Amino acid sequence: MPTVSKLLHTVPVSLEGRSYSIQIGSGLLQDAATYAKLPKASSALIVTNSTVAPLYAAQLFEALQTRYPNVQTLILPDGEEFKSWETLNKIFDQLLGSGADRKTTLFALGGGVVGDMTGFAAACYMRGVPFVQVPTTLLAQVDSSVGGKTAINHPLGKNMVGAFYQPELVVCDLAVLKTLPPREMSAGLAEVIKYGPIYDMAFFDWIEANIDGLRAGDEVLLAHAVKRSCEIKAAVVGEDEKEGGIRAILNFGHTFGHAIEAGLGYGAWLHGEGVGCGMVMAAVLSEKLGTVDTAFVQRLTRLIERAGLPTRAPALPLEGCSDVASRYLQLMQVDKKAEAGEIRFITIDPPGRATLRTAPEGMVREVIATCMA
Of the residues 158, 258, 337, 344, only one is catalytic, namely 258
Answer yes or no: 90 catalytic: no
- pLDDT at residue 242, as a whole number: 80
pLDDT tens-digit profile of 203-219?
A: 999 999 999 999 999 99
Say how many Å lie between the first and final Cα of the chain, rounded.
Answer: 49
Q: Residue 373: pLDDT above 80?
A: no
- Residue pLDDT, tens place only, 260-313: 999 999 889 999 999 999 999 999 999 999 999 999 999 999 999 999 999 999
Please pick, among 233, 288, 327, 344, the residue that the annotation labels catalytic: 233
Spatial CA neighbour of 110 closest among 80, 72, 86: 80
Give me the amino acid identity at 295: A
Selected catalytic residue, list 83, 247, 327, 344? 247
pLDDT tier at 240, thresholds 50, 70, 90: confident
Quick check: is 149 catalytic?
Answer: yes
Strand ranges (E), the chain: 6-15, 18-26, 43-49, 70-76, 105-110, 131-135, 149-154, 157-164, 169-173, 345-348, 354-357
The pLDDT tens digits of the residues spanning 158-193 come to 888 999 999 999 999 999 999 999 999 999 999 999
Class for domain 6-179, per CATH?
A: alpha beta
What's the rounded mean pLDDT across residues 49-58? 98
Q: Where exactly does CATH 1.20.1090.10 map onto the chain?
A: 182-371
Candidate list 271, 288, 337, 344, residue with the active-site label:
271
Between 83 and 340, whose confidence is greater?
83
Is 183 one of the catalytic residues?
no
Cβ neighbours, 10 Å, residue 287: 20
Catalytic: which of 83, 227, 228, 254?
254
- Identify the burial level of 333 via C-beta atoms within 10 angstroms of its C-beta, where 0-12 means exposed, 13-18 middle and 19 or more buried: middle
- CATH 3.40.50.1970, the chain: domain bounds: 6-179
Q: Which of 184, 231, 241, 243 is catalytic?
A: 243
Nearest Cα to Cα of residue 305 among 202, 208, 177: 208
Active-site annotation holds for 210: no
- CATH for 182-371 (1.20.120.420, 3.30.565.10, 1.20.1090.10, 2.60.40.10): 1.20.1090.10
Residue scoring higher pLDDT (321 or 337): 321
Backbone angles phi, psi at 180, to 5 degrees: -80, 130
**DSSP state letter for 316:** P
How crowded is residue 140: how many other Cβ atoms within 10 Å of its Cβ?
Answer: 27
User: What pLDDT, on the 0 to 100 scale, is given for residue 339?
Assistant: 75
Between 241 and 228, name the one with better pLDDT. Answer: 228
Residue 124: pLDDT over 60: yes
How much is the pTM?
0.94
Catalytic residue among 49, 153, 159, 251: 251
Of 18, 37, 40, 127, which one is the catalytic site residue? 127
Active site residue 127: yes
247 is catalytic: yes
Q: DSSP characters for 353-364?
A: -EEEE---HHHH
Name the average pLDDT for the chain: 95
C-beta of residue 94 within 8 angstroms of C-beta of residue 68? no
